[in-house]
Amino acid sequence: MTNEIRIDDLRNPVLNDVQKMGRDYGETVETELSVDAICAAAVAATELSDFGPDDFRERLAVQLDEMNADPERTGLGRMLMFGDCVRYASNRLRIRDLLKQHPEILEIPIEKPVIVIGLPRSGTTNLVNLLASDSRFRSMPLWESYQPVPDPREAIPADGVDPRWTRCQGMWEAMQVGAPFVAAMHPMNPDHVHEELELMTPDFTSYNLEWVARAPKWRDYYVAHDQTESYAYMKTVLQIMQWYRPRERWVLKSPQHLEQIGPLMTTFPDASIVVTHRDPVAVVQSTITMVTYGARTAYKTPNPEWYRDYWIERIGMLLDASMRDRHLLPADRTTDVYFHEYMADEAGTLQRIYDMAEIDFTEAAKAEVAAYQDAHPRGKEGRVVYDLRGDFNITPEEVRARFSDYMNTFPVKIEVQ
């Protein structure tokens, strides 16, 4: 019996019954993707009405206009977009309401966080979850990121399980049925440590939309605007989480930070930074396989070449920005982690990170890390077998040509031949 996963229908998707039902149902629903409709739904959901500064409306309008102008977006894809945006707007309302009640939250320090930055699919998720297994760190599980401020109208049930966790578990179970291979490539169970860019979504910014939609216009808008204020917003939400569940130091991660080093270091000037590195071809093939597979219900045609071209350039943009701004990282509080070295020696890599961050890697912490590793062995959800040539009509050499500057700067090991 093999644990390998080969997705052989990327170009001509064969939908399972749940996927068919979702797509068919989506075509029966008329979804209004407008700023007013989303804000009205959030007000109805929360019974709150103060969104704070209304500059978010322009950013939301840019995103919605692009979705509305795309004839390839399915009815289900429009429904999913609406639901996500209502959740973000509802979070914005609850965040605003809590801060009005407790302005002292804004005085809570977020000191000396350890922040992992690096390409998507380069080990950042595994690494941040290993670090977060050390209970001295404050980290952000997925369930908390999806709704950082509890609904005050909801009571904790007798079993003590937070309703936000229960909702997130329901979403995870639905994902495992509706997009099982995405679930295998990027687990989204409630306790999985998530990226803090989720905390920017109530401000309707970040590159998050690019992962779930064909959004080049939004990309261009986003990269053309200074993100410092949005990073400050994210920090405010971290302060809220710290207020609810205090810890001494945070551990964070997001690939987006590669192209936002300036705003990141302005927001967290005393942070220790871990930069992950991996063969960009391995990153690209993993990324485009995942997003092409995930598009089968949100778009009428999968269009693998679109994702191929988009993400080769997008990964290149991330790397170019990271090299441009590398000088902004503090030399004495930055360490580089190469994927092949990390895979060969996780313990040694962690020790290096702890030393750089001036944190004692105690025996208790090592035991917690070991317990996490035992519970989450590599390949537990299956190992995806990629085929750049067969699925995307391109060779590794053609992909790698975009990244020559990066490859000449950092000694990454070539993985894909």
Give me the torsion for CA of 162, 165, 170, 175, rounded to 10°.
180
At 352, which amino acid appears?
Answer: R
Indicate the CATH number for domain 4-409: 3.40.50.300
Q: Which of 195, 236, 191, 233 is nearest to 56 (CA)?
A: 233
42 vs 151: CA distance, rounded Å: 13
Give the residue, 417 or 149, on which the prediction is more confident.
149
Q: Rounded to whole angstroms, what are the CA distances from 391 to 7, 122, 194? A: 9, 21, 29
Q: What is the pTM of this model?
A: 0.95
105 vs 98: CA distance, rounded Å: 9
Residue 377's pLDDT is what? 84
Average of per-residue pLDDT across 148-177: 93
Average of per-residue pLDDT across 198-206: 97
Helix (H), strand (E), coil (C) string for 323-350: HHCHHHCCHHHEEEEEHHHHHHCHHHHH
Report percent pLDDT > 70 for the chain: 99
Q: Which of 357, 351, 361, 350 is nearest to 334 (CA)?
A: 357
Residue 279's pLDDT is what? 96
The mean predicted confidence, pLDDT, of the chain is: 95
Give me the torsion for CA of 410, 361, 270, 405, rounded to 10°.
10
Residue 1's pLDDT is what? 37
Average of per-residue pLDDT across 277-305: 96
User: Over the stretch 337-372, which tens digit does the pLDDT of each residue have?
Assistant: 999 999 999 999 999 999 999 999 999 999 999 999
E-only strand ranges, 278-374: 334-338
Residue 305's pLDDT is what? 97
Is the confidence at residue 98, as pLDDT, over 90? yes
Is the confidence at residue 2, as pLDDT, over 60? no
For 1-31, give the DSSP string. Answer: ---EE----SSS----HHHHHHHHHHTT---
User: Over the stretch 205-260, which tens digit does the pLDDT of each residue have?
Assistant: 999 999 999 999 999 999 999 999 999 999 999 999 999 999 989 999 999 999 99
Assign 325 a pLDDT band (cuts: 50, 70, 90): very high
